[in-house]
Structure 1
Amino acid sequence: MNERLPAAVIAGLGAWVPPNLVTNEDLAGRLDTTDEWIRTRSGIGQRYHVPPGLHTSDLAVAAGQRAMASAAVSDVDCVVLATETPDRRVPGTAPVVAERLGLRGRGALDVNAACSGFVYGLATGAGLIATGTAATVLVIGADTNSLYLDPADRSLYPLMGDGAGAVVLRRGDRAEPGALGRFTLGSDGSLVDLITSPGIGSEQRASGEPMTAADVHTRMQGRAVFEHAVVRMSDAVGTALELAGWPQAELDRVVAHQANLRILRAVGRRLGLTDDQVPIHLDRVGNTVAASIPLALADATRSGALKAGHRTALVAFGAGASWAATTVHWPELDLSATHFPYHHTGSTA
């Protein structure tokens, strides 16, 4: 890395989930399952789903507002939205989010790397800053996957939640707290069917076959995803540490994509970490796809599990297949604009 290039520094953090709380008990009768079955296999106890009329852009705006308030800024040069559930196929959702945030005229683009999307979004924002294209970038991860699930899918429906999280990146110095390290990015297109929702794309349309509801629903090969996720995420963290020049023994925290508790624990063991060094948030929000890492960062910062100065790796694995990781000395942040615990008045499932 050219040390003379400016760094992308995390200056603000915000998070938001929709108000519709769905507990395991809410799902038990309808899916012929139990709270114990869901928790044992995933570690998830509840999740939040969007009610009718709430879109991905609504969640992204709420998280973006909180991140900008945290950074004490009212303007940014570019908005990068990581999502696999855009409001529309065309146009991108980021320009809509920018408009609603009072950022009309600013650059705005969507990034779709599924569960790896937020880290890919950070890499995109860091590149914009390094090249001098932008001095400030709002990076948002937002997804509403509950809208794409088969309500009768006992294996996948209990895992997924909706939410959004965001950070403000600013131009800064590589030695200061919050400066993102070098990124490791990877993909393997031969694994395209591990996690997929084929019904909206040109592949399905070109087949000449009529699209069915099943084509739109997300499908996942759970066992294969587990195996690939553990290996790819732990290896990506190792590469990111090498790029940062950090000995593995000095790593304080790994904030990983929150897909499954067993995956997170297995990654931690491969990296020689204790359970406390891999913060868990999916028990309260489920797998929120591109939103999961910023949501976990906000929760861990607020709870004290992630403290200023911690040497931290961020890592994700998702559909594509794709994976990504980077490092950061965690900074002091003002999270007063993000409300904890997440608002709800009880189950409305």
Structure 2
Amino acid sequence: MIRSVLLGTGSALPARRVSNAELAEQVDTSDEWIVERTGIRFRHLAGPDETTATLAYDASKAALAASGLAAQDIDLIVLATATPDQTFPATATKVQALLGIDDCVAFDVAAVCSGFLYAVQVADSMIRVGAHRRALVIGAETFSRILDWEDRTTCVLFGDGAGAIVLEAQESADDVSSPDARGILAAKLHADGRHNELLYVDGGPSTTGTVGKLRMKGREVFRHAVTNLSAVMAEALKGIDLTPDQVDWVVPHQANARILDATARKLGLPAERVIVTVDQHANTSAASVPLALDTAVRDGRIKPGHLVVLEAMGGGFTWGAAVLRV
């Protein structure tokens, strides 16, 4: 059996780091208000010369260095983003060019905050069928460019950044539930377009001809997030005969500390097994899961052999979970 094995992780953040206190000088808010409701203390905001593509490129270089591979070893790039550099071509092709790869399959995936989970399953499927051997999977966003900076209920929640992983096809005879089975073991994805008006951007090429700004009904999104995330994590584990108590780490979408706490409680997981970076990065949409994953790999919490669950929910609604053994 062919499995997609994780070889390396990487991440990148814009140079500018903005505290709640600094934000409160421009927006009618306060550090106490933001921390109490979200757990966010800092976020990074892209400067004029920083784009989704440049952040994705920097994260990709770090992931490649960690994997021990050269850029030319990659034959597939899947980039998840809701904030591409251009309407077209795909931002993935810009990253390809920046990496100096002459020819490989490169395209974007749009599923907002769940985008990285969608990209992982797409890349994993293409690797499993033998179409590709080594994939660069990226989540990258410059959400600061689509925020309404006069809406204090949303602009304080988001930041910019990128994360990337390198996957390689490797043969395995181990059952997915075996502790010796490495790589992507399971993935479950969902979408329900009936909830468009709860989290969306009010613009687009075929509707307004503008980029638009983010709009969100936070209370309703919170309720759906806790229910959907706990359910899809349980679904992914159950599908391969594993249980939450066997999980070493959960790497969730970093939207809101209260959502992370509520989801962990619903699954019966102790808080110390949940990777949390929302306090430092805020919500970086499709970048948040790979950013948090790279943080925990590099600080030594996530080690080879650990069973890790990735999960996210975003506008659409879209949501999903993936189980992998590092």
Q: Same fold (TM over 0.5)?
A: yes
Asked whether the 8 Å contact 1:191–1:320 carries over to 2, the reply is yes
**Structure 2 residue aligned with 1:161:** 159
Q: 1:180, CA displacement in angstroms?
A: 0.3
Contact 1:24-1:34 within 8 A present in 2 as well = yes
Residue of structure 1 in register with 2:269 after alignment: 273
TM-score, with structure 2 as normaliser: 0.94
For residues 263 and 299 of structure 2, the distance between their equivalents in structure 1, rounded to whole angstroms, comes to: 22
1:138-192 CA-partner distances (Å, limit 9, x unpaired): 0010000001101111111111010000000000134456410121110000011
Q: Give unmatched runs, 5+ long, in structure 1.
A: 206-210, 331-349
With 238-247 and 226-235 compared, the bigger mean Cα shift is at 238-247
* Deviations 1:236-290, CA, capped at 9 Å, x for gaps: 0001101221123222221110000000000000010111011100100110111
Which structure 2 residues correspond to residues 1-349 of structure 1 after superposition, within 5 A? 4=1, 6-74=2-70, 75-174=73-172, 175=174, 178-205=182-209, 216-330=212-326
Q: Judging by fraction of residues, say which structure has more strand.
A: 2
Provide the alpha-carbon RMSD of the alignment. Answer: 1.3
TM superposition outliers: structure 1 runs of 4+ over 4 Å: none
Q: Size of the alignment, in residue pairs?
A: 318
Structure 1: distance between partners of 2:242 and 2:3: 18
SS in 1 for 2:269: coil
Secondary structure class of the residue paired with 1:8:
strand
- Cα deviation, residue 201, structure 1: 3.5
CA contact (8 A) 2:186 2:324 kept: no
Query: In 2, distance between residues paired with 1:305 and 1:222?
Result: 31
- Contact (CA 8 Å) 1:279, 1:305: kept in 2 or not? no
1:309-331 deviation per Cα after TM superposition (whole angstroms, max 9, x unaligned) = 2221111100111011111122x
Per the TM alignment, residue 28 of structure 1 is displaced from its structure 2 partner at its CA by 1.2
Unaligned runs of 5+ in 2: 175-179
What TM-score, normalized to structure 1? 0.88
Counterpart residue identity of residue 278, structure 2: L
- 2: distance between equivalents of 1:63 and 1:249? 32
Q: CA deviation at 1:203?
A: 3.2
